[in-house]
Structure 1
Amino acid sequence: MSLTVAYAALATGIAVWAVLVMKLRAKPWEATAATAAGGTGFNVSAKRIGLWIFLAVVTSLFCLFLSAYYMRMGEHAGHGTLAAADWQSIRDPSILWFNTVLLIFGSVAMQSARSAVASSQVQQTRVRLFAAGLLTFAFLIGQFLAWREIRYSPLFSPLNPAVAFFYVLTAVHGLHLLGGLFVWARTLTRSLRKDVELIDVRLSVELTSVYWHYLLLVWLGLFAVLLST
């Protein structure tokens, strides 16, 4: 069997993700709330609800990828009708451990920024936000180095499903981090403006921290799967 499962999972997951995100951008819950409440009090809750719905969508996406991964592993182990002969297990790059530490510290820094903004510490909020983004950028650079290591390893082959799944799982996670960094950049830029009160960026920092913690948990799960298989 070729890489049909991996590529089908990637295409289907991206399609589902794109459709659901487009629907979420319409924010139907805000329209309902505006009709019911007639005020802006629900807006904060609406953003939180929107984030949690988005995280549920992302969770479904990663579950789809992992299901395809284990299905393919099952064929490799002979649990299907025929054992897959094209699967060659790869040695996970040791830099992934260092990358994991970077992402953990990035999440800690983001939580620290959340605490700082709640305490109205302007300078500390900016510094900790910057540190969180910098650590996350370092994580992505480390992931790129891991991809290069796999690329030049003896077991690399475009026809090896283990290689394909490694790139798919880590790349999709990296893309979600890049999306988070876009929001992080906007939040940091707003916090640096003199005409913006710190309270105006408090919600953005809070929701960004939730997103960072979530992606850290996702990465820890993916890393555990890669190590165990």
Structure 2
Amino acid sequence: MILSLALVTLLMALFGGWLFRHSWGARPWEAQAAGQSPHRQAPPGATSARVGLGVILAVATSLFALTVSAYLMRLEQGSDWRPLSMPGLLWGNTLLLVAASLALQRAWRAARAEKPAALRTGLAWGGGLSLAFLTGQGLAWWQLTAAGATLQASPAGSFFYLLTLLHGLHLIGGLVAWWRAWRRLGRGGDITAGVELCALYWHYLLVVWGVLFALLLMT
């Protein structure tokens, strides 16, 4: 319980700091002196897309924190809790997600530098490695069910499937945004903002997966 609350506090503090940093340069009194309405002033970096992503991450953080809280509460309650033997495949999956995050970071850098070839390569690798991660998670599920760790077999197994499914669904949602950016790139459009949001979202999912994987290994 304490771990999940600490996670919520940390991520929300980062989110709040990000918004504060982008609003630091706003000076409504200057707008009033110029005869403009201060309500029309917006921080240069606080675009609607970035603020929207921030709201999505805040909601996702709350959802993950509640699920982790339920996991820890169930862990403390039952004498029927039997720890799972984590498939070694999960380590490889973690490396795939790290590589996907780095690839999208490279794509974002290439988009800002106006390097279309590097942008296409980074975006392609980011999407491909993410699909490989999801495939690996499915194989890990198959290994566990083949070993008898089904949803009904133990609470630990049930929560493992719940946590990994929740994370996987968020990644699938990110792939929808990735696909839209990829299609727009094929049409010759400017996708700098879209790639930026994808990179930030993947970094967030990487941090969340790191927390979930560490929690599963420790318990």
TM-score normalised to the size of structure 1? 0.75
Q: Hey, what does 2:176 align to over in structure 1?
A: 182
Question: CA–CA distance in 2 between the matches of 1:42 and 1:120?
Answer: 21
Residues 1:220 and 2:210 are matched in the alignment = yes
1:157 Cα offset (Å): 5.3
> 1:69-108 counterparts in 2 under 5 A?
69-76=71-78, 84-85=79-80, 87-108=81-102
Q: Hey, what does 2:104 align to over in structure 1?
A: 110
1:156 Cα offset (Å): 3.6
Match of residue 204, structure 1, among 194, 200, 215: 194
**Residue type matched to 2:40 in 1?**
A
Closer, same or farther in 2 for the Cα pair 1:225/1:203, shift >3 Å? same
Closer, same or farther in 2 for the Cα pair 1:41/1:70, shift >3 Å? closer
**Residue type matched to 1:45 in 2?**
T
Residues 1:137 and 2:131 are matched in the alignment = yes
Q: Is the 8 A contact 2:150 2:158 kept in 1?
A: no
The runs of 5 or more residues in structure 2 that have no matched partner are 1-37
1:124 Cα offset (Å): 1.1
Question: CA–CA distance in 1 between the matches of 2:106 and 2:129?
Answer: 13
1:90 Cα offset (Å): 1.1
Question: CA–CA distance in 1 between the matches of 2:148 and 2:47?
Answer: 51
Indicate the RMSD between aligned Cα atoms, in angstroms: 2.0
Q: Hey, what does 2:113 align to over in structure 1?
A: 119
Question: CA–CA distance in 2 between the matches of 1:132 and 1:139?
Answer: 11
1:160 Cα offset (Å): 1.2
Match of residue 36, structure 1, among 34, 39, 53: 39
**Residue type matched to 2:128 in 1?**
L
The runs of 5 or more residues in structure 1 that have no matched partner are 1-34, 77-83
TM-score normalised to the size of structure 2? 0.79
Match of residue 51, structure 1, among 50, 53, 56: 53
> 1:159-198 counterparts in 2 under 5 A?
159-194=153-188, 196=189
Question: CA–CA distance in 2 between the matches of 1:159 and 1:219?
Answer: 24
User: Which structure carries more relative contact order (alpha carbon 8 Å, separation 6+)?
Assistant: 1
**Residue type matched to 1:91 in 2?**
S
Residue-pair matches, total: 183
Question: CA–CA distance in 2 between the matches of 1:201 and 1:104?
Answer: 22
Closer, same or farther in 2 for the Cα pair 1:155/1:49, shift >3 Å? closer
